[in-house]
Structure formats: C-alpha cells, structure tokens
Structure 1
Amino acid sequence: MGKLYTKKQLAAPKMLPKKETISFLLNYSKALRMIKVGNMTFETIAN
C-alpha cells in the first residue's frame, strides 16, 4: 500500500475546448435574458 502513495503523479494533459464549444457558449450567453419580477426570476432565450 505504501507503494501507491510514493509513485510520482503524471502531469494531467491540458484540456482545451473546441472553438465550436466556445462559440456556442458565447452565443447562448448573448441570447439569455434574466428578468426579475418581485422575488421571482425568469430566464428567456431570445432566438
């Protein structure tokens, strides 16, 4: 069991998102509107 903890950890590979993913998230955030009425919040997507 001691051998498990003494092993050197390998560096995790960089996880980079695709350009399509970034574009989708940016477009979604541009279209999302939050409207607060009293103590309620409504989310609408303007497409």
Structure 2
Amino acid sequence: MAKIYSKKSLVTRTMKPRKEVVSFLLNYSKALSMIEIDNHSFEIISN
C-alpha cells in the first residue's frame, strides 16, 4: 500500500488532446442548443 501513495504517483503529466477530439467537441458545442419551455429545458442537437 505504501507504494501506491508514493510521491511518484502524485506527479501530474501534461496531457495534450488530439486535434480530432478538439474539433469534435467544438463542432458538438456549436450544434447544441437549449430551449426552455415552462420551466423545462430541452437539449437539441442539430446536425
């Protein structure tokens, strides 16, 4: 158990997302729209 919580495992590595993932997330957020009707909110994805 002592090895699991050692200082080595606490080191964070920088993570770089792929361009495809960033592009997908940006396009998804552009297509997503929220509509609120009578205290109800609906998420609509327009492709």
Aligned residues: 44
Where structure 2 has 5 or more consecutive residues not aligned to the other structure, the ranges are none
Is 2:20 the partner of 1:20?
A: yes
How large is the Cα RMSD of the aligned pairs?
2.1
Which aligned runs of 4 or more in structure 1 are off by greater than 6 angstroms?
none
Q: Whose Rg is larger?
A: 1
Secondary structure of the 1:41 match is strand
| d(CA) in 1 for partners of 2:25, 2:38 | 29
Normalised by the length of structure 2, the TM-score is: 0.74
Where structure 1 has 5 or more consecutive residues not aligned to the other structure, the ranges are none
